């Protein structure tokens, strides 16, 4: 009994503050929805020559077609309608759009991870690569690549590469950096004593890579993978903006903003958030399992 209350208290200790703040945020959202949409509701009432009571006003602010800020339940309803009630193959299904974005994200993430790891190995094992490439890897991130996205899409389209690959390319560019930097840090994590130990056993470079450097880099790698996959998703979404708004969550955003469909914008936004959270959580899970099997998790 006491252990159960202790466990409950521990859960509350962790979740309580988060839930409280989420509840506050939800309340703020509703309040803002009323405040922001009230002007339109009053305007409409004025034209119809009626005076709204407060409760009518509030209910009107939460049921507009194109509100300035849709209420949370309107967004939830829209998400429900476009996921559960629509066939997955329908172009109006958010799951379909989400899948388009997700596939580009995953492809770009895979490329980015591979490129980042290769670069990291090159940087750790070759002084020349370290000195020549590392400063540019860092500079490459001060270049707002997302701004270049439209050009990459258009150019790749012009040479006949279209669909998934151009978006994946942008995702790759965004995700290789955290992976490369984290991996360099990780591969350099073994201290001098551990490296000297390998030397006393006259281990080859390859052996000390597989037995020492690579295992030591795992915690760093996973930390960067989480950043990388979030960046990949951003890349894929922005990559969808200039394709003429056909498919994907980014396209839903752009189409929504063209036609003032705020509820559609917000449902795409929430979907993107859920997608990002699940991807990061998935990597977190793989991290936990891997590190546990390697005995690196206490």
Partner 1 sequence: MNWLIYALIFWLASWALNVRIANSAPSRFKSILVPMLFGFSLLGLWEGLVSGFNISPILLPPPSMIAARFASSLPILWEDFVQTFVKGALSGYFIGCSAAFLTAIAIDRSDFLKRGLLPIGNFVAALPIIGMAPVLVMWFGFDWQSKAAVVVIMVFFPMLVNTVAGLSAKNEIQNDLMKTYGAGYWQSLLKLGLPAAMPFIFNGLKICTTLALIGAIVAEFFGSPIRGMGFRISTEVGRLSLDMVWAEITVAALAGSAFYGTMALIEKAVTFWHPSQRS
Q: Of 185, 104, 184, 176, whose CA–CA distance to 145 is shortest?
A: 176
Q: Which of 98, 116, 178, 256 binds partner 1 (CB under 8 A)?
A: 256
What b/e string do you get for 39-67 counting C-beta neighbours within 10 Å, with b at 16 or more?
Answer: eebeeeeeeeeeebeeeebbebbbebeeb
Q: Which one, 25 or 286, has the nearer CB to partner 1?
A: 25
Site for partner 1 in 69-88 (CB under 8 A): 69
Q: Give the per-residue contact string, 117-156, with partner 1 (x = CB under 8 A; - = no).
A: ----------xx-xxxxxxx--x-xxxxxxxx-xx--xx-
Q: 112, 183 in Cβ contact below 8 A?
A: no
Task: Decide if residue 106 touches partner 1 (CB under 8 A).
Answer: no
Q: How far is the CB of 257 from partner 1 (least distance, A)?
A: 3
Q: Which residue has the tokens 């969808």?
A: 240
Q: How far is the CB of 169 from partner 1 (least distance, A)?
A: 14
Q: Which one, 46 or 244, has the nearer CB to partner 1?
A: 244
Q: Which one, 6 or 19, has the nearer CB to partner 1?
A: 19
Q: 285, 138 in Cβ contact below 8 A?
A: no
Q: Which one, 116 or 242, has the nearer CB to partner 1?
A: 242
Task: Decide if residue 280 touches partner 1 (CB under 8 A).
Answer: yes
* Count of residues engaged in binding partner 1, rule: CB under 8 A: 62
Q: How far is the CB of 150 from partner 1 (least distance, A)?
A: 5
Handedness of CA 262, 267, 273, 275 (dihedral sign): negative
Task: Decide if residue 11 touches partner 1 (CB under 8 A).
Answer: no
The total number of residues shown for the chain amounts to 298
Q: 147, 235 in Cβ contact below 8 A?
A: no
Q: DSSP character for 210? A: I
Site for partner 1 in 24-63 (CB under 8 A): 25, 36
Q: Which of 83, 103, 257, 290 binds partner 1 (CB under 8 A)?
A: 257
Residue 90's CB is within 10 A of a number of other CB atoms, namely 12
**Side-chain half-sphere exposure of 44, counting CA atoms within 13 A:** 13
Q: How far is the CB of 165 from partner 1 (least distance, A)?
A: 16
Site for partner 1 in 153-212 (CB under 8 A): 154-155, 158-159
User: Can you tell me the distance from the alpha carbon of 161 to that of 179, in angstroms, rounded to the nearest whole number?
Assistant: 26
Q: How far is the CB of 83 from partner 1 (least distance, A)?
A: 18
CA 260 to chain centre: 25
Kindly write down the DSSP assignment for every residue of 277-290, as one continuous string.
HHHHHHHHHHHHHH
Q: How far is the CB of 44 from partner 1 (least distance, A)?
A: 19
What tokens does 73 get? 């339940």
What tokens does 165 get? 């690959």
Sites of contact with partner 1 (CB under 8 A): 13-14, 16-18, 20-22, 25, 36, 68-69, 127-128, 130-136, 139, 141-148, 150-151, 154-155, 158-159, 226-227, 230, 233-234, 237-238, 241-242, 249-250, 253-254, 256-257, 260, 262, 265-266, 268-269, 272-273, 276-277, 280
């Amino acid at each position: 009994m006491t252990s159960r209350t202790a466990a409950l208290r521990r859960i509350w200790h962790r979740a309580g503050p988060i839930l409280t703040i989420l509840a506050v945020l939800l309340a703020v959202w509703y309040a803002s929805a009323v405040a922001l949409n009230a002007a339109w509701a009053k305007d409409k009432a004025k034209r119809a020559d009626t005076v709204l009571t407060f409760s009518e006003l509030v209910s009107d602010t939460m049921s507009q077609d194109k509100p300035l800020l849709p209420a949370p339940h309107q967004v939830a309803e829209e998400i429900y309608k476009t996921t559960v009630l629509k066939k997955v193959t329908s172009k109006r299904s958010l799951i379909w759009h989400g899948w388009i974005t997700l596939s580009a994200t995953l492809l770009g993430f895979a490329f980015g991870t591979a490129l980042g790891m290769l670069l990291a190995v090159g940087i750790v094992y070759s002084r020349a690569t370290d000195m020549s490439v590392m400063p540019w890897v860092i500079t490459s991130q001060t270049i707002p690549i997302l701004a270049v996205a439209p050009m990459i899409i258009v150019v790749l389209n012009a040479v006949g590469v279209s669909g998934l690959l151009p978006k994946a390319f942008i995702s790759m560019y965004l995700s290789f950096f955290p992976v490369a930097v984290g991996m360099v840090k990780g591969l350099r994590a073994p201290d001098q004593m551990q490296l000297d130990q390998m030397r006393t056993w006259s281990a080859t470079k390859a052996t000390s890579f597989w037995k020492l450097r690579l295992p030591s880099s795992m915690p760093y790698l996973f930390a960067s993978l989480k950043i990388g996959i979030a960046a990949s998703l951003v890349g894929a979404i922005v990559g969808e903006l200039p394709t003429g708004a056909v498919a994907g969550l980014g396209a839903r955003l752009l189409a929504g903003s063209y036609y003032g469909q705020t509820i559609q914008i917000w449902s795409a936004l929430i979907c993107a958030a859920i997608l990002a959270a699940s991807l990061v959580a998935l990597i977190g899970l793989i991290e936990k399992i891997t590190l546990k099997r390697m005995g690196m998790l206490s």
